[in-house]
Amino acid sequence: MKQLLAIHASGRVQRSVTRQLTQRFIDQWRSVHADGDVILRDVGQAPPPTVSEAWIAGAYSDASERDEAMREAIAVSDQLIDEVFAADVIVIGAPIYNFGMPAQLKAWVDQVVRINRTFEMNFEAENPYVSLVPSKPVVVLVSAGDIELHPGGVLAELNHMEPHLRTALSFIGLTDLHFVRTGNEEFKDERHRASVDAAYAEIADLAARLPAGA
């Protein structure tokens, strides 16, 4: 049975473009994978905690050395990482907030990028960073207020979400990334509608063929 991990990161529940795109992906994926399992992780409504003294101490120590506070602090991280490992495909609904990812999505990234769980260090190697997550497709459904933030746009260099997500996810092994971009949500104009229509077509294609060979 295939598993889809779906992450909502919008702070909005009503009128959210990324929630609608993500729901469309879920529906279409379910129609192809009738016996598939969908795990919904809504960090928009229930953001993971930010990393703390106990979290960092726990993450950088062996399990046998952890006290109760450390174990408690990294329990959320363990759960979110388990979801990433269990998934065959991941979809992330990702609004652009202030030229980057929403704080709630960054909180999720900070929970899942963890030493000795999703990456490890080999100080002998030329490249000391070793990814520990097996490759799997990740679909990132983006909405921006201004469409020009997307690659090729006149404001593209101000888009820090896409390169940041690409770097952080690739760092742990998630290199098979598919960005689907909508824009001009602030303008609610023809360019916005066209970008959403194009995104729905891309979503239909991706939901039908990911994971490959399924």
Ligand X SMILES: Cc1cc2nc3c(=O)[nH]c(=O)nc-3n(C[C@H](O)[C@H](O)[C@H](O)COP(=O)(O)O)c2cc1C
Q: How far is the CB of 193 from ligand X (least distance, A)?
A: 13
CB-facing half-sphere around the CA of 162: CA atoms within 13 A: 20
Residues 140-159 that bind ligand X (CB under 6 A): 143-146, 149
**Residues contacting ligand X: total by CB under 6 A:** 18
Find the shortest distance in angstroms from Cβ 160 to ligand X.
Answer: 9
* Residue burial 16-39, b: 16+ Cβ < 10 Å; e: rest: bbbbbbbbbbbebbeeebeebebe
Check binding of 202 to ligand X (CB under 6 A): no
CB nearer to ligand X: pick between 70 and 161: 161
- Decide: is 187 part of the binding site for ligand X (CB under 6 A): no
CB of 118 to ligand X, least distance (A): 26
Is 61 annotated for ligand binding? no
**Considering beta carbons, is residue 76 or 155 the nearer one to ligand X?**
155
Is 47 an interacting residue with respect to ligand X (CB under 6 A)?
no
Q: One-letter amino acid identity for 78?
A: D
- Stretch 14-33 residues interacting with ligand X (CB under 6 A): 16-19
Residues between 82 and 121 that touch ligand X (CB under 6 A): 95-99
Give 155's contacts (C-beta < 8 A, 6+ positions apart). Answer: 146, 148, 149
Please tell me whether residue 165 binds ligand X under the rule CB under 6 A: no
Q: What is the DSSP string of 73-116?
A: HHHHHHHHHHHHHH-SEEEEEEE-BTTB--HHHHHHHHHHS-BT
Selection from 191, 19, 197, 70 nearest residue 6 by Cα: 19
Q: How far is the CB of 103 from ligand X (least distance, A)?
A: 9
For 4, left (φ over 0), alpha (ψ -120 to 50), or beta?
beta
- Residue 160: Cβ-neighbour burial (10 angstroms; 0-12, 13-18, 19+): middle
- Report, in Å, the least distance between residue 29 CB and ligand X: 19
Q: Which residues are annotated as a binding site?
A: 10
Q: Binding site residues for FMN, as ranges?
A: 10
Residues in contact with ligand X by the rule CB under 6 A: 10, 12, 16-19, 95-99, 143-146, 149, 185-186
